[in-house]
Structure 1
Amino acid sequence: MSYKQTKVWNVDNLNDGYTSDPDIKEAALWIKQGEAVAFPTETVYGLGADATSDSAVEKIFKAKGRPGDNPLIVHIGSKKQLTDFVAFIPRMAEVLIKEFWPGPLTLIFPKRANVSEKVTAGLGTVAVRMPDHVVARALLKEAELPVAAPSANQSGRPSPTKAQHVYHDLHGRIAGIVDGGPSGFGLESTVVDCTGDIAWILRPGGVTKEQLESVLGEGSVRIESKKQKSHHAPKAPGMKYRHYAPDSPLVLVEDTKSLQQNLQEAKETGRKTVVMAVNEHQAMLEQDTDAFICLGSMNKLEQIAAHLYDNLRQADQWDADIIFCETFPKEGIGEAIMNRLEKASFQS
């Protein structure tokens, strides 16, 4: 499947007061007609298609080169749409919807039969979220149907936070791209399975464990471990396969002393290196590497999260033999940052 030209609609000046923007209407019409169209959300850019159509959803998998057993997240424009394809809404989900929707939180529900089996990878559940982005909301409102939308990148690559990232990865492979400017949070949504007595975080993201516990109660939220994941088929994206990875091997290093030692060893063996670290460590590291990419301040993890994928893509442009990246505490947003880095790393 290929397209002579991937159309780009520039709507980065759209605001909440939009009234049937012609570019949004055209992009929504293409989705209704079974095409795959990329669009921005507050997390990353998604590649959207009609979640009720097998043929439309198949275009997502083909364009991305995505494994068929990796389920997709369905995006909706209003809470009323839930009952159209969700069998029932657990009480825990009602609480989380009231507190965090629209926003970067995906919830797992028992599904109705009208959701494409390709979306759910044959599971009896479906992952759903309501994005908090003016362009995404406008597009979903115009489309008037549930839209399956994984990240709009080649499968396994760093997720796109700019329309340019989508164009680089998928130009000629998808029908169109809605350019709404850079995404906000920069990492994918938190995925929570709340079909049981405990809220299981299947993928950390924009809503932290601490935030979830603040409304559900302490001890009511747990994070699924790698060991637990191996016992069943994945219920959400990002659980089974290597994701978010640059082309060059990414190695995570816990402290600056070890990082300096690794750089010295690489230099002695003639390997080209890139270091990704916080600006507080730049002075002690940049003289020992071919390129230094500043992730931001260690005191502003939200900024590090927002630019992480962009920085991974920049690191790849150096065509290094190895990319070194320092690690972060697994607390708050740090949990999501480390989840992505560990999935992207050479060691995973």
Structure 2
Amino acid sequence: MLKIARINFKKCVLSLPRPYLLPARPTPFTLDFICILIIRIINVSIDEPKWQIWKKHMGTEKFYKTLAQIAVMLKNGKVLGLPTESVYGLSCIIQKAAVEKVIALKQRDLKKGFIVLSGDISHLLALIDTEKLNEKQLEILSQRQDKPTTWVVPVKHEYRWLTGDFGTIAVRLTDHPLLKELTITLGCAIISTSANLSNQPPATSYDKVQHYFGDQLDYIHPQQNFIAAKPSRVINLISNEVLRD
């Protein structure tokens, strides 16, 4: 069964519009890996037409082309305006030079820390001093919440430079389609701080981000039908104190 599925999926992968994230000439090993990965993780029916499988489980070619371009810009240390579950944010990779650009753009107080987010919990755990958390707290941190929730947790010493005057770091497991896929593609978490000048209201639209920063940003993502909401709630994971609701 698996052998037949491999053959079908090889034909499928070779004939589909190719996102920029796949090799230009996939090797037999790469194709086998893709086929097994799709079958075992996505668990789709191999009888579905190949384009329906692609569209249903992998999104559109345009989305993945844009995703690849955004990933390259972030890897190159650029600062981007990206939508989140609530408002627009400024994002960059966790690299000192890139973070310094964000601080300068926002005219931000160095004493303040940053929210870090990813669609993969392992990316967030890499920043957290997990020895100071118990199993229940780690379980809560890994769970998807009914609304966007940022957790304040102990930070590893090597990432203390991200936290301003605090010995904790704010992290969020995101379900936003773009941010989730982007961080999984990058293989790491990213900075996400509200897109605004210090002490000004957060940007709630593409136009507002443009108004604040003009051409100072390397890219602003124009999410269609974006509806702004309240910023994520913030909870101290150890004390359960709600810092923002």
Counterpart mapping for 1:204-283 below 5 A? 204=245
Partner of 2:223: 180
Partner of 2:58: 17
Partner of 2:148: 104
Counterpart mapping for 1:84-233 below 5 A? 84-88=126-130, 89-90=133-134, 91-95=136-140, 97-100=142-145, 103-115=147-159, 117=161, 119-184=162-227, 186-196=229-239, 199-204=240-245
Deviation of 1:109 after TM superposition, in Å, equals: 1.2
Distance change in 2, residues 1:166/1:120 (3 Å): same
The answer to whether the 8 A contact 2:152-2:235 is kept is yes
Deviation of 1:83 after TM superposition, in Å, equals: 2.3
Secondary structure of 1:126's counterpart equals strand
Partner of 1:77: 119
The answer to whether the 8 A contact 1:86-1:111 is kept is yes
TM-score, normalisation: structure 1: 0.49
Deviation of 1:93 after TM superposition, in Å, equals: 5.0
Deviation of 1:113 after TM superposition, in Å, equals: 3.0
Secondary structure of 1:85's counterpart equals coil
The answer to whether the 8 A contact 2:127-2:159 is kept is yes
Partner of 2:97: 55
- If asked which structure has higher relative contact order (CA below 8 Å, sep 6+), I would say 2
Distance change in 2, residues 1:142/1:86 (3 Å): same
The answer to whether the 8 A contact 1:16-1:134 is kept is no
Partner of 1:287: none
Greater helix fraction, Structure 1 or Structure 2: 2
Deviation of 1:177 after TM superposition, in Å, equals: 0.9
Hey, what's the Cα distance between the residues in 2 that align with 1:59 and 1:127? 20
Deviation of 1:55 after TM superposition, in Å, equals: 1.0
Hey, what's the Cα distance between the residues in 2 that align with 1:99 and 1:136? 15
Deviation of 1:64 after TM superposition, in Å, equals: 1.1
Q: Which moved further from structure 2: 89-98 or 72-81?
A: 89-98
Q: Structure 2 regions of 5+ residues with no counterpart? A: 1-54
The answer to whether the 8 A contact 1:42-1:183 is kept is no
Distance change in 2, residues 1:56/1:200 (3 Å): same
TM-score, normalisation: structure 2: 0.69
Partner of 1:345: none
The answer to whether the 8 A contact 2:160-2:167 is kept is no
Instruction: Render the CA deviation track for 1:141-161: whole Å, top value 9, x for unaligned.
Output: 222222111111222222122
Distance change in 2, residues 1:15/1:42 (3 Å): farther
Distance change in 2, residues 1:168/1:32 (3 Å): same
Hey, what's the Cα distance between the residues in 2 that align with 1:154 and 1:195? 31
The answer to whether the 8 A contact 1:45-1:183 is kept is no
The answer to whether the 8 A contact 1:109-1:127 is kept is yes
Kindly report structure 1 stretches of 4+ aligned residues shifted beyond 6 Å: none
Instruction: Render the CA deviation track for 1:77-99: whole Å, top value 9, x for unaligned.
Output: 21121221111144235235425
Partner of 2:13: none
Distance change in 2, residues 1:82/1:96 (3 Å): closer
